[in-house]
Amino acid sequence: MKIVPPSYEILDELDSRSLAVRIEYSGRICYKSEERIDQDSAIPFVRKMAEHGHNSVLEMGVVTLRIAPVDPDLLAELMATQPRYLHLDRDADSLLVTGSVRAFREMLIFHPECTLVRAMAALLAGRHPYFFETILPQSGLETDTEIAVAKVPLNEVDKFPPALRLNHRHLGVKFIVNRAVTHEIVRHRPCSFLQESQRYCRYSDNKFGGEVTFIKPMFFEESSPEYGLWRQAMEETEKIYLKLLKTSTAQAARTVLPNSCKTELIVYANLREWKHIFRLRTTRAAEPSMREVMIPLHKELLARFPELSLD
């Protein structure tokens, strides 16, 4: 049995990588198969995700586009599609559109007649064909040559005014916490989530050290009788779980695992949603184990993005 403290990691390094690399890194957390990542693994991985419709994984790649000029009739046509999963803003005489790979794919699937949808999909399919291979029309995408669509680099998004940056700057954070905390985090519907899967991870395997990892509870001092009882319960649970794995599947054996189990969760959202999360999850009324990670995370991000202030 292993006991670790809760922690988080802001995934800044991934921001500078390609969409495929970002999506593969995030997707492999579910099966804890990070050891399979190499310099050639990203595109085959994301191509398989797109082909099999594993859409939650494709939400982990977000891109911002600038469209100019913005014809009022074409904008009205786009709005008529009710683009719930795109963030849209006017910027001078152009239109800013931010969305995930999943969002742009589904817009093309369900609204291929929309002029701006075709224009955006054409740009993205040209840069990242492996995301669109299975859904492109056989005749290709005919687009209006007078519509200019360009990708906005992240360093430019970071220079947006605060009101625009709240909508268009997305940020990923990997949490290592107990499952009681993740049960609450995943209630924030506008976010995208990928989580370590107890259904497929067999903690008896060598890559897990043949043991179950638990998160140290903040409620009990290590020298207290309560902590001793907690540790005893976790040790007994691990024994039962490992015994069940000898005759059962991982998804069957996991039914005895408690909330104290360590899990890894990637949360991906724009700054506006992170601000909402911090407003709810850092107050005195919030669950203490949640506050344990959210308060320092908020402090760290606030130093970079003043618009996350809760004042």
Tell me how far apart the alpha carbons of residues 218 and 221 are, in angstroms, rounded to a whole number.
8
Q: Helix crossing, 115-127 with 72-79: angle to 10°?
A: 80
Per the domain annotation, does 20 fall within a domain? no
Total structural domains within the chain: 2
- Residue of 119, 125, 140 lying closest to 70 (CA atoms): 119
Q: Let me know whether 150 and 202 are in one domain.
A: no
Instruction: Quickly state the pLDDT bin for 196 (edges 50, 70, 90).
Output: very high
- Residue of 158, 126, 167, 157 lying closest to 143 (CA atoms): 126
Domain closes at, from 160, 189, 223:
160
Active site (annotated) includes residue 281: yes
CB proximity list for 85: less than 8 A, separation 6 or greater: 99, 100, 102, 103, 106
Per the domain annotation, does 224 fall within a domain? yes
pLDDT at 283: 96
Q: What is the pLDDT of residues 47-77, one digit of tens each?
A: 999 999 899 999 999 999 999 988 899 999 9
Q: Let me know whether 180 and 279 are in one domain.
A: yes
Query: Is 310:272 a contact under the CB 8 Å cutoff?
Result: no
Q: Let me know whether 110 and 131 are in one domain.
A: yes
Residue 35: is its pLDDT beyond 80? Answer: yes
Instruction: Quickly state the pLDDT bin for 40 (edges 50, 70, 90).
Output: very high
Q: How many CB atoms lie within 10 A of CB 138?
A: 4
CATH code, 225: 3.30.1360.170
Per the domain annotation, does 270 fall within a domain? yes
Q: For 109-156, give the DSSP string.
A: HH-TT-HHHHHHHHHHHHH-GGGTTTTS-TT-----TT-EEEEPPHHH
Q: Let me know whether 149 and 175 are in one domain.
A: no
Locus of tokens 């970079």: 304
Tell me how far apart the alpha carbons of residues 269 and 187 are, in angstroms, rounded to a whole number.
13
Q: How many CB atoms lie within 10 A of CB 64?
A: 22
Residue 170: is its pLDDT beyond 90? Answer: yes
| pLDDT (average), residues 110-127 | 94
Q: Let me know whether 199 and 300 are in one domain.
A: yes
Q: Let me know whether 139 and 263 are in one domain.
A: no
pLDDT at 294: 98
CB proximity list for 34: less than 8 A, separation 6 or greater: 25, 28
Q: Let me know whether 82 and 201 are in one domain.
A: no
pLDDT at 117: 95
pLDDT at 138: 75
pLDDT at 112: 92
Q: Let me know whether 181 and 296 are in one domain.
A: yes
Instruction: Quickly state the pLDDT bin for 311 (edges 50, 70, 90).
Output: confident
Q: What is the pLDDT of residues 205-264, one digit of tens each?
A: 999 999 999 999 999 999 999 999 999 999 999 999 999 999 999 999 999 999 999 999
Residue of 281, 284, 291, 304 marked active site: 281
pLDDT at 126: 93
pLDDT at 43: 96
- The pTM of this model reads 0.94
Tell me how far apart the alpha carbons of residues 197 and 31 are, in angstroms, rounded to a whole number.
6
Q: Let me know whether 147 and 178 are in one domain.
A: no
Phi, psi of 273 (to 5 degrees): -75, -35
Q: What is the pLDDT of residues 261-295, one digit of tens each?
A: 999 999 999 999 999 999 999 999 999 999 999 99
Q: Let me know whether 173 and 154 are in one domain.
A: no
Phi/psi class of residue 218: alpha, beta or left (left: φ > 0; alpha: ψ in -120 to 50)?
A: alpha
Q: What is the pLDDT of residues 77-118, one digit of tens each?
A: 999 999 989 999 998 889 999 999 999 999 999 999 999 999
Per the domain annotation, does 54 fall within a domain? no
pLDDT at 68: 92
Q: Let me know whether 195 and 235 are in one domain.
A: yes
Per the domain annotation, does 33 fall within a domain? no
Host domain of residue 269: 2-11+169-308
Residue 3: is its pLDDT beyond 90? Answer: yes
Domain closes at, from 138, 160, 182:
160
Strand order in the sheet with 7-10: 7-10, 170-178, 262-270, 192-195
Domain closes at, from 160, 178, 201:
160
Per the domain annotation, does 48 fall within a domain? no
Instruction: Spell out the alpha helix ranges (H) of 171-311.
Output: 179-185, 225-244, 250-253, 271-281, 288-302
Q: Let me know whether 286 and 177 are in one domain.
A: yes
| pLDDT (average), residues 187-209 | 96
Per-position b or e across 270-290, b if 16+ CB within 10 A of its CB: bbbbbbebbeebbeeebeebb
Residue 139: is its pLDDT beyond 80? Answer: no
| pLDDT (average), residues 13-32 | 93
Mean per-residue pLDDT of the chain: 95
pLDDT at 70: 86
pLDDT at 115: 93
